[in-house]
Structure 1
């Protein structure tokens, strides 16, 4: 039976890498798939991983209708065995409903990949709807680590290395960007609550007060 599957995790957990691996495995066996993404770090119309792997994808922006797109493709003589939708947290709830219809009405497996919560620890609307509708939810097994070495469970937004907790839910950035621009970092719950990013921790470790405490 076809399924709607949601592969969920934090940033740095390998979700895009897994999406590309699923695409590779199925295409190697002669299956034909359709790949969608939204707001990928590599730019519009691309699905990429931090390992450097990239493939072309259909940009599923605001107003994009997955079900209508697949119906047009099939009725024009095309064939699709499966669908991959990366960065699914950015999808509108209605678009997730469309993906469910692709499974139920067209009999096509849909594999979605995304992070569950934003930098404020609140569910993304797309992720929330996937949790509500998915036939299966898979937690990605690659554990991202906080700077302290503990398992990272929360996504933090940073500006110049300092964590922020206010602002628009979706601001595209990446790990390791230049100071004073938007970046993201994964943290354990404790350090997310304390707003202690890696940069802040390193600065504290080098401060005179911290060095005095250490010497005592």
Structure 2
């Protein structure tokens, strides 16, 4: 039976790499996939991994009907055996409903990849709807690590190396930023204490010392 599968994890845990691997494996068996993505770090209409692999994708823009797009492709003689969706956390809840409809009505597997919570530890609407609808949820086994060596469970947004907890939910960046806005994966303890690798080094703080003025 076809499934809607949600592969989740923090940033830097290999979600996009796995999406590319699934695409490669199925393509080698003669299967054709449609790849959707949203706000990829490599630019519009790209699916990229931090290992340097990049492939073309369809940009799932705001308001786009993913089910209608696929039906239109098939009606024009196109072929599709499965669907890959990267950065699925950025999709709207109704677009996740459309993915479920692809599974149920078109009988295709849909593999969605995304992080569950934002830099404020709040669920993304797309991820929340995936948790509600997915046939299966898979936690990626490649664990990202906090700067302290513990398993990273939270995504932190940084500006000039300092963690911030306010701002727009979606700001495109990476864990190795070239500009002022970036992201870092942290364990829960250091996310609560707002201690990034940069602030810990700059302040020479012990992991057991609470920073001040962070009520």
Per the shorter chain, which TM-score range?
Answer: over 0.9
Which residue pairs with 1:72 in the alignment? 72
Q: CA RMSD in A?
A: 1.2
Aligned twin of 2:143: 143
Q: What are the Cα deviations for residues 87-125 of structure 1, in whole angstroms up to 9, with x where unaligned?
A: 000000000000000000011110000000000000000
Residue number in structure 2 paired with 1:197: 196
Structure whose residues are more often helix by fraction: 1
Give the 5 Å matches for 1:55-94: 55-94=55-94
- Size of the aligned set, in residue pairs, is 206
Q: Alignment partner of 1:97: what SS?
A: helix
Query: Residue 130 in 1 paired to residue 130 in 2?
Result: yes
Partners of 1:200 and 1:122 lie apart in 2 by: 23
**Counterparts of 2:169 and 2:92 in 1: how far apart (Å)?**
13
Match of 2:156 in 1: 156
Q: Which runs of 5+ in 1 are unaligned?
A: 211-216
Give the deviation of 1:176 after TM superposition: 2.2
Conserved? CA contact 2:12–2:175, under 8 Å: no
**1:214 paired residue number:** none
TM-score (normalizing by structure 1): 0.94
- Please state if 1:2 is matched with 2:2: yes
Q: 1:120 aligns to what?
A: 120
TM-score by length of 2: 0.94
**Please, which moves more after superposition, 76-85 or 17-26?**
76-85
Contact 1:160 1:178 in 2 (8 A): no
Take 2:139 and 2:111, find their aligned partners in 1: how far apart are those partners? 13
2:182 is paired with a residue whose SS is: strand
How many angstroms does 1:178 deviate by?
3.8
Following superposition, which runs of at least 4 residues in structure 1 exceed 3 angstroms of deviation?
A: none
Cα distance between partner residues in 1 of 2:49 and 2:190: 26
Larger Rg: 1
Structure 2 runs not aligned, ≥5 long: 210-215
